[in-house]
Amino acid sequence: MATAIVSPVEREDYLNKEYGIASWLLTTDHKRIALLYLISITFFFFIGGFFALLIRLELLTPAGDLVQADTYNKLFTQHGQVMVFFFLIPSIPAVLGNFLIPLMVGAKDLAFPRINLLSWYLYIIAGIMMLHCMLTGGVDTGWTFYTPFSTAFSNTKVIEAGLAIFVSGFSSILTGLNFVVTIHRMRAPGLTWSRLPLFVWAHYATSIIQILGTPVIAITLVLVVAERALHLGIFDPKLGGDPLLFQHLFWFYSHPAVYIMILPSMGVVTEIIPCFARKRVFGYMFVALSSIAIAVFGFLVWAHHMFVAGISVYAALVFSILSYGVAVPSAVKVFNWTATLYKGSIHYDAPMLYAFGFVGLFTIGGLTGLFLSALGIDMHVHDTYFVIAHFHYIMVGGAVMGYLGGMHFWWPKISGKLYPEGWARLAALIVFIGFNLTFFPQFILGYLGMPRRYYQYPPEYQVLNVLSTAGATVLAVGYLLPMIYFLWSMRYGKPAPDNPWRAAGLEWTVQSPPTTFNFPEQPVVTWEAYNYDEIDKDYKEEAQVVG
């Protein structure tokens, strides 16, 4: 490996170009904004995790003895709201997407850098509103805000929480808008759609959902706030309103929202797997188009959350069939990842461990989604821990593991430092074990009939709950480790070369960390994506010449 021409300490990059708080808070550099997001979402991850900790502590014993019932309602509500709106939805797009997309398409920045900064400020304002809401009484309606409880009966701060999420929605919309325009208008010469990294395709699909779906929940929250404040009757049965209309409007966004949470993670995994298998992605176009298919199909299935809510059986049939359909493009991806691994030269670095974990856990989570799409089964397990296990397998076993894998993979590029590989592999293993111990028992609990959102339960469910809480403790350790060693590496880590993984992609052609404007001159792309066979051939030739 050639050494850097200038020693890293003297080289200018986006981190040392300017110092001072103003240079961060008024930055328009997409890389700095990504770091601002990184700090903010990590903060909210702790908050959401804190609520989870209290939930799991309460559920150690069958009796409701840690907190009161009303408090428990606030715990699971706020855990859900914080994790969904303030952690999962922004996480990969706002951190890794913001950082990498301009680099991956060969641009100096996103299309609208100031709107990017505005997006972060909207997120922060929303976060402050949410924190204030939680500190001054909280909200207990469930993250789903179902009416008429939220509009007419709840005594908690529904309006404030609704408005906070409304503001966070606009942060999400602006991020999506920025990505779509960037990907269409700012690709480097030669970078055709079929040469784009699949991470970019995944974020394109995610952005479509953010753009088209988020406004619907925004207006729905406006209606909830208006109804609660003015007693309008839009969702109140006593005044002629239909509570199910709220659910239709809510889930029209909130179902595609789960694809906002998983698609970027799939994009990360699709970058990691070819790199650590040293192979091109099997079926590039299938993977690219399956991302778009997931985005489109994801808009057609929302009422599968409402099978037992009171919709007509005929509508339920339609949505059930469509829900089976949405699993197909996800399965396509799993097949393609597997085929990419086949006969590859597998390396078990930490990013790859997370990617393996993702593929297995996402498959389980996705398959259990099919269980839930079947009306007969859903009648039985709706609103039980089966559903909770299903979505945590996808959100935590899938999305969060993809996020961690991506953070490890691109950490050298982002920080210019190497994280300690031994600790990272250990942490990945702890996360995997802790995760399964936490959530697998919940499938069984749900199947056996334990309802969700209950703070007390019959004694026969205790053993599984104790296992789940034990797993949560292990998982927490697994999450803390990367936070500690990433911070450690910023001070004490080995300086990273430009391309420690010998990975394909324009982001690896610039220095680690990159300069503010990314590329010394406009790159021109003449190679296909994931050209690992060429990269490894070049490397072998170089090694032969040197050796």
Partner 1 sequence: MSDSQTVVPTSSHDDVHSPALLHHFATEEQQKDASNLGMWIFLATEVMFFGGLFCAYLIYRRWYFGDFAAASASITVWLGALNTAVLICSSLTVVLAIWAAQTSQRALLLLMLALTMLFGLAFLGIKGIEYKQKFDEHHVPGATFSFDHEEIPSQPGHYANPQHAQIFFALYFIMTGLHALHMIVGLGIFSWLFWMAWKGRFTPEYHTPLEIGGLYWHFVDIVWIYLFPLLYLIDRHS
Partner 2 sequence: MHDHAKSPLKTYFAVWGALLLGTFLTYRVAFIDLGVFNPVVALVIATTKALLVALFFMHLINASERLLKLVVASTIFFLLILLTLTLTDYVSRPWTIAS
Where does this chain bind partner 2 (CB under 8 A)?
A: 184, 208, 212, 216, 237-242, 244-245, 248, 252, 299-300, 302-303, 311-315, 318-319
**Closest distance between partner 2 and the C-beta of residue 526, in Å?**
24
Token readout for 258 is 């789960």
**Closest distance between partner 2 and the C-beta of residue 241, in Å?**
7
Tell me whether residue 80 or residue 169 sits nearer to partner 1 (CB atom).
169
Q: How far is CA 248 from the centre of its chain?
A: 24
Neighbours of 304 (CB within 10 A): 22
**Residue 99 in the binding site for partner 1 (CB under 8 A):** no
Tell me whether residue 380 or residue 502 sits nearer to partner 1 (CB atom).
502
**Residue 242 in the binding site for partner 1 (CB under 8 A):** yes
**Closest distance between partner 2 and the C-beta of residue 454, in Å?**
28
**Closest distance between partner 1 and the C-beta of residue 60, in Å?**
41
Q: Given candidates 276, 508, 530, 532, which one binds partner 1 under the rule CB under 8 A?
A: 508
* Sequence-ordered list of residues with C-beta below 8 angstroms from that of 5, at least 6 positions apart, any chain: none
- Binding partner at 223 among partner 1, partner 2, none, C-beta below 5 to 8 Å by kind: partner 1
Q: How far is CA 400 from the centre of its chain?
A: 6
Alpha-carbon distances, residue 176 vs 289, 431, 481 (angstroms) = 18, 30, 31
Contact call for residues 255 and 298 (beta carbons, < 8 A): yes
Task: Kindly write down the DSSP assignment for every residue of 259-273, as one continuous string.
Answer: HHHHHHHHHHHHHHH
Tell me whether residue 303 or residue 464 sits nearer to partner 2 (CB atom).
303
**Residue 520 in the binding site for partner 1 (CB under 8 A):** yes
Tell me whether residue 206 or residue 511 sits nearer to partner 2 (CB atom).
206
Tell me whether residue 53 or residue 244 sits nearer to partner 2 (CB atom).
244
Segment near partner 1 (CB under 8 A); pick from 205-213, 391-399, 450-458, 485-493? 205-213
Token readout for 163 is 């408005």
**Residue 232 in the binding site for partner 1 (CB under 8 A):** yes
Token readout for 117 is 């900064």
**Residue 528 in the binding site for partner 1 (CB under 8 A):** no
**Closest distance between partner 2 and the C-beta of residue 254, in Å?**
13
Alpha-carbon distances, residue 90 vs 206, 217, 265, 483 (angstroms) = 11, 16, 12, 18
Q: Given candidates 234, 293, 401, 430, which one binds partner 1 under the rule CB under 8 A?
A: 234
Contact call for residues 302 and 247 (beta carbons, < 8 A): no
Per-residue burial over 26-56, b = 16 or more CB atoms within 10 Å of its CB, e = otherwise:
ebebbbbbbbbbbebbeebbebbbebbbbbb
Token readout for 464 is 């599984």
**Residue 194 in the binding site for partner 1 (CB under 8 A):** no
* Sequence-ordered list of residues with C-beta below 8 angstroms from that of 57, at least 6 positions apart, any chain: 66, 469
Neighbours of 173 (CB within 10 A): 20
**Closest distance between partner 1 and the C-beta of residue 10, in Å?**
10
Partners of 495 in beta bridges: 417
- Binding partner at 299 among partner 2, partner 1, none, C-beta below 5 to 8 Å by kind: partner 2
φ, ψ at 340 (rounded to 5°):
-65, -40
**Closest distance between partner 1 and the C-beta of residue 311, in Å?**
12
Token readout for 547 is 């050796």
φ, ψ at 513 (rounded to 5°):
-75, 160
Segment near partner 1 (CB under 8 A); pick from 64-72, 118-126, 352-360, 503-511? 503-511
C-alpha to C-alpha distance for 475 and 432, rounded to whole angstroms: 8
Neighbours of 20 (CB within 10 A): 8
Token readout for 526 is 């003449």
Alpha-carbon distances, residue 205 vs 87, 135, 214, 266, 292 (angstroms) = 19, 36, 14, 11, 5
Q: Given candidates 226, 289, 318, 377, which one binds partner 1 under the rule CB under 8 A?
A: 226
Written as one letter, the residue type at 484 is I
* Sequence-ordered list of residues with C-beta below 8 angstroms from that of 13, at least 6 positions apart, any chain: 416, 511, 513, 514, 515, 516
Segment near partner 1 (CB under 8 A); pick from 49-57, 255-263, 360-368, 494-502? 494-502
Q: Given candidates 35, 38, 54, 107, which one binds partner 1 under the rule CB under 8 A?
A: 107
Segment near partner 1 (CB under 8 A); pick from 133-141, 149-157, 465-473, 508-516? 508-516
Alpha helix stretches (DSSP H) within 151-197:
158-185
- Binding partner at 231 among partner 2, partner 1, none, C-beta below 5 to 8 Å by kind: partner 1
Q: Name residues contacting partner 1, limited to 153-192 (CB under 8 A).
A: 173, 177, 180-181, 184-186
**Closest distance between partner 2 and the C-beta of residue 322, in Å?**
9
Q: Name residues contacting partner 1, limited to 18-77 (CB under 8 A).
A: none
Residue 122 Rama label (left phi>0; alpha psi -120 to 50; beta): alpha
**Residue 213 in the binding site for partner 1 (CB under 8 A):** yes
Contact call for residues 346 and 352 (beta carbons, < 8 A): yes
Tell me whether residue 237 or residue 422 sits nearer to partner 2 (CB atom).
237
Q: Name residues contacting partner 1, limited to 256-315 (CB under 8 A).
A: none
Segment near partner 1 (CB under 8 A); pick from 4-12, 60-68, 198-206, 410-418? 4-12
- Binding partner at 312 among partner 1, partner 2, none, C-beta below 5 to 8 Å by kind: partner 2
**Residue 197 in the binding site for partner 1 (CB under 8 A):** no
C-alpha to C-alpha distance for 538 and 547, rounded to whole angstroms: 14
Q: Given candidates 219, 321, 379, 484, which one binds partner 1 under the rule CB under 8 A?
A: 219
- Binding partner at 311 among partner 2, partner 1, none, C-beta below 5 to 8 Å by kind: partner 2
- Binding partner at 459 among partner 2, partner 1, none, C-beta below 5 to 8 Å by kind: none
Task: Give me the residues that bind partner 1 (CB under 8 A), please.
Answer: 1-6, 11-13, 107-113, 173, 177, 180-181, 184-186, 211-216, 218-220, 222-223, 226, 230-234, 239-242, 245, 248-249, 252, 497-499, 502, 508-511, 515-517, 519-522, 535, 538
